[in-house]
Amino acid sequence: MTGGEYAALAYGVVFVFVLGYVAIIAAKLQRLQRETAELLDLARRGAGESEPGRSAVYAASVPSARPGDEEAT
């Protein structure tokens, strides 16, 4: 094999690895978009059930935190 053939082979191998990397990142991006849409839907559905003035995310993450509640010591 000549030097040009080795260079072409090296470029081909690098191209395949980059293509695989892009495919993996695209799959992760799709999954993240799907999960983000699901979280947004959950937040919107839960917004009507939370207390006035509280965000759905806060109400879901800290359900016992209500104005006037104090921790027992």
Per-residue confidence in pLDDT tens, the chain, 73 aa: 899 999 999 999 999 999 999 999 999 999 999 999 999 999 998 876 555 555 555 555 655 555 555 555 4
Question: Which residues are CB-neighbours of 19 under 8 A, at least 6 positions away?
Answer: none
DSSP track, 39-67: HHHHHHHHHTTSPTTS-HHHHHH-TT--T
The predicted structure's pLDDT at residue 55: 56
